[in-house]
Amino acid sequence: MRRAKKRSSRLRENTDPRIKNFIDWFFTEYRNRLGRPYHVKGGKEGNLIKGLLSTFDLPTLKRCAVVLLESEDSFLSQTDRGIGILANQINKLAGMIQQPMLHPAPAAHLPPADLLYRKGAADHA
């Protein structure tokens, strides 16, 4: 038993502090926004957040979670809006965050929409 305790304490020491930060923040936001407590599923959700943090920084992940909690999307509104759904729908949620385009295409170089439509329709006729 002592060996197991040493191992688990070593694992905790190596844990990314952003994981706990996010889960604590999410727990509070969930309760404040949805009016009910959120049951944290320990290691499972910690691993999901660890994976998300390998792609997204903490502020972006929090913005995605806010979108999830506030969304009126028909699919999302039928879920528990928990961390599992956040991980499953992260690409959709990240796309819903309004961010300025880094390099918007100049409008002068785009053909009018009706030309695109006609060209596409002619190609499929």
Per-domain residue ranges of the chain: 2-100
Residue 23: count other Cβ atoms within 10 Å of its Cβ.
Answer: 18
DSSP notation for 38-85: ----HHHHHHHHHHHHTTS-HHHHHHHHHHHHH---TTGGGS---HHH
Question: What pTM value is reported for the model?
Answer: 0.68
Model confidence pLDDT, tens digit, residues 7-54 = 444 445 568 999 999 999 999 999 999 999 999 998 899 999 999 999
